[in-house]
Structure formats: structure tokens, C-alpha cells
Amino acid sequence: MEVRDKLYIGGSWVPSTGKGTIDVINSATEEVMGTIPEGTPEDVDKAVRAAAEAFASWAATSVEERSKTLLRVQEALTARTPDLATLISQEVGMPFTLSNLIQVGLPVMSFATAAQLATDFPFEEQLGNSLIVREPVGVVGCITPWNYPLHQIAAKVAPALAAGCTVVLKPSEVAPLNAFVLAEIFDEIDLPAGVFNLVTGTGPVVGEAIASHPRVDMVSFTGSTRAGKRVMELASQSVKRVALELGGKSANVILEDADLQAAVPAGVAACYINSGQTCSALTRMLVPRSRLAEAEELAVKTAETYTPGDPFGSDTRLGPLVSSVQRDRVRGYIRKGVEEGAKLLTGGDEAPEGLDTGYYVRPTVFSDVRADMTIAQEEIFGPVLSIIPYDTEDEAVEIANGTIYGLAGGVWAGDKTRAEQVARKLRTGQVEVNGGGFNPLAPFGGYKQSGIGRELGKFGLEEYLEVKALQR
């Protein structure tokens, strides 16, 4: 068991001012795998003050030096990849082979990218008689989720440090152990004291203390839309900058001339990645009514290849969900789908056979889902696909845009030009055209209640910069 009994504040490991601890549960075994401090508002205040004191000198550090620091982090993360992948698979449930590639591979890339961007970024440019200067926003509070824990941390911390900001991080208390490894790395490379600070705890206590602290200049939050609204509300009291990456209910629009043999299996995969615990998962598959039966058959056939099991099992394609709360929530949505009249093609709310221990959910596919059903409107965050039939292309676009969210989407067509025309009509931050792959340099973020701002690449770096004009 991994016992973490200290926070990382001001360049040192220090005890929390509180006495509470939080258990970290292994999602496959349901056993306690570690404990962390239950931080307090006093801990947050100490961390923010340390970050504020470190800001001026870190902001004045050369871009080259900041870049070298990030590359040292990248190297250290790379060296620890197997251990980190194991840890995150235990915390979150993603199969180990995928954790290597995604849960650790993406953070490694984020630090490398931020290092390169800092070197290449035009921090100053001439505009008429003005010198436009981009400067770090200040102390950044980063509040991150459990589904891609280290990736979401890196997507905020790396560009913030590259920009010259200092950071106070609150990772999710559900999957926090990986954040301590990152703090150890910062300590090992002798990052100046106070530039990076780690305070663990719950959202209503530590998260709210960060969002409301008057010396935090910006909050970057990833999580549920409900929690994002609360962060925004608290941050508004001191008019601090807010970046929000929130929920999604993304539509995968399959057009009449699409190759269903390619589109449907790819669509199921895009729904089930990380057991469906992905904000940008393509959870609604929109299919022409004339091709519904064909799509249903392909979806069931594909879904039933997603074998649930131990994240370290060689045959496992679908790990457990992260917690009992999440498992019960997803099973409740499956029951709701049945109650509201959707056609259950495969899966269901029972535990997968032989997997009574662990937070497992059957890979589930519904069809004949109406656009107004609960399972077509609310973010489920589990391996549950809703197939929605449509009659015209205009109706498909209307259904796709008919939720409060706008994070991601997909369009499949035989004619790529036509697919792109439909993709332009989707009110969403990213669209995969005929299965286009994830690009870690492209802006990630959403329209509507999916959030404010963008992460990754140069767009992510820009979030942490203020713009000043020097008239000369």
C-alpha cells in the first residue's frame, strides 16, 4: 500500500494542517491501495503564498531555461513509464497496454511539446507603434479529474510553467497517487521552490479554496459541467481568468454513403475508450434509418469483442470503472434507457459474468434511441452507446447539435468533402472526419456547456498568457 502523508508546498514535503486522510481504491480489486492527506483551506493558502512568492523570479527566468526544465521532466517521466502506467491502471482501470501509450505517453508528449513551444513562441511582436508583449498570467490553480489523471495534469502544468506561471495543483482525490510521482520529479530536478505546489483533498474544500483565493490569478479546471459552474461562480468574485474543460455528449454522424464496415466498429471504439470514461467519447451514433439494421448488427458484433476484465489481463479490452459510485451511476443510466423505451441490443446493468469484484460494467449498446431520452442527453461516462436513427441529413445535424454540450464529434461519409461540409455544421470543438486520429497539438475544448478556452499545443500555451501593448 502506498501511504502519502505529506503535501508538496514551497519546494518541501510538509504535513497537512489537517488530520484527515483519504483512501485510494484499486478499481479492479476494490481494495485500499493507498492513502493521501485530506488537505485544508490553510494548506491551499500556504501553497498559493509560496507560488506567489516564486512567481516574479520564475517569470523572469529565460525561456531557454524553462524549456530545459520541462525536458528534464519529460525524461524523468519517460524513465518511470512502466511504474506510472501500472499505478494509473490500478487507480483508473484502463488496460495496462493502453495506459503505457495514453495515460503516460500523452503527459510525456505534453512536457516535450511545451518545451518546444516555449522556445518557438512569439512572446513579442511589433504592431504599428505598439510592441505587443505576452506575459505569464501569474499564479494558476489547476484542478484536475480522475479519468486521464496525469494527462490532464500535464496538459495544464506543462504550458503554465512554459509560460512563466507558477502552479498550485489539486488532483482528483479518486486517482491522486500519480500526482505525487510528478511532484517527486519536480523535487528531484530542483525546480525553484514554490513554482509547483501539490495540495490533495476534496473539491468542495481544497478545490473551492483554490477557486476563491484572491491571490490565484487563474483557475484551469477539468471535470463535470456542474462542478465547472461552481468554479466559475467562485472565481468571478475576484474576476480571475477561468479555463474550463467540461462534459460532452458527442455525436458520431454516419451519412448514407459511409462505409459502415469501417464507421461502426470505429464508432464503438470511440465510445468505449477508457471504459467510456472520456469526456470526448462519441457516445451517440447517428445512423440513417435505411441502414439501421446493418449498423445494429455491426455495433453488437464489435461491442461483444470488448472483453471486460483485469486491467493486467492479456485478453482484457475493457477495464473496470473508477469507483463504486461511477459503476452504480452508469448502471442506473442503463436501467433508465430500458425504462424510457430504448432497445437494448447487448449488455445491461448486471455485472459481467465472473466479475463480481471490481467496478465492472457490461459493454452496452442501445438502439431506437430518441434524441430526447435521458441516455441521449446526459453524460453517462461509461461503456454505453446510443444508436439514434435519422431520416435526413439536416435532421442528423439538428440531433447532433441538440444537447447542452459541444466538445467533440465525428462524421463518416463516402465522400470526404461532404463529410467535411457536415463537420462544419457541428457546434463542437473537435470533429473526427472519417476516423481522423487524435492530434495532441490541436486545440482541445468545447462550445456551449462543454467549457471555455482550449488546451494542448500553442492554443494551450496562450491560455496562460496576458497581452500587454507598449505604445512607442
Looking up residue 360, the CATH number of its domain turns out to be 3.40.309.10
Looking up residue 137, the CATH number of its domain turns out to be 3.40.605.10
What pLDDT is attached to residue 235? Answer: 97
Burial 343-371 (b: 16+ CB within 10 A, else e): eebbbebebbeebeebbbbbbbbbbbbeb
- Considering the domain architecture, whether residues 319 and 349 belong to the same structural domain is answered as yes
* Placement of cell 441516455 in the chain: 375
| Residues forming beta bridges with residue 288, ordered by sequence position | 390
Question: In which domain, by residue range, is 126 found?
Answer: 2-246+449-471
Confidence of residue 407 (pLDDT cuts 50, 70, 90): very high
- Considering the domain architecture, whether residues 267 and 238 belong to the same structural domain is answered as no
What pLDDT is attached to residue 464? Answer: 98
Nearest CA to 91 out of 103, 73, 79 is that of: 103
Confidence of residue 290 (pLDDT cuts 50, 70, 90): very high
- Considering the domain architecture, whether residues 208 and 256 belong to the same structural domain is answered as no
User: Whole-prediction pTM value?
Assistant: 0.96
- For the stretch 49-99, pLDDT in tens is 999 999 999 999 999 999 999 999 999 999 999 999 999 999 999 999 999
Positions marked active-site: 245, 279
* Placement of cell 483554490 in the chain: 210
Question: What's the chain's average pLDDT?
Answer: 97
Q: Could you give the count of Cα atoms lying within 13 Å of 216 in the half-sphere of its Cβ? A: 30
- Considering the domain architecture, whether residues 304 and 219 belong to the same structural domain is answered as no
- Considering the domain architecture, whether residues 428 and 397 belong to the same structural domain is answered as yes
- Considering the domain architecture, whether residues 285 and 382 belong to the same structural domain is answered as yes
Nearest CA to 273 out of 98, 85, 108 is that of: 98
- Considering the domain architecture, whether residues 229 and 341 belong to the same structural domain is answered as no
Domain count, the chain: 2
What pLDDT is attached to residue 41? Answer: 98
- Considering the domain architecture, whether residues 261 and 223 belong to the same structural domain is answered as no
Confidence of residue 37 (pLDDT cuts 50, 70, 90): very high
What pLDDT is attached to residue 225? Answer: 94
- Considering the domain architecture, whether residues 123 and 68 belong to the same structural domain is answered as yes
What pLDDT is attached to residue 292? Answer: 98
Query: Mean pLDDT, to the nearest integer, of 385-392?
Result: 98
- Considering the domain architecture, whether residues 210 and 255 belong to the same structural domain is answered as no
- Considering the domain architecture, whether residues 221 and 301 belong to the same structural domain is answered as no
- Considering the domain architecture, whether residues 240 and 255 belong to the same structural domain is answered as no
What pLDDT is attached to residue 283? Answer: 98
What pLDDT is attached to residue 9? Answer: 98
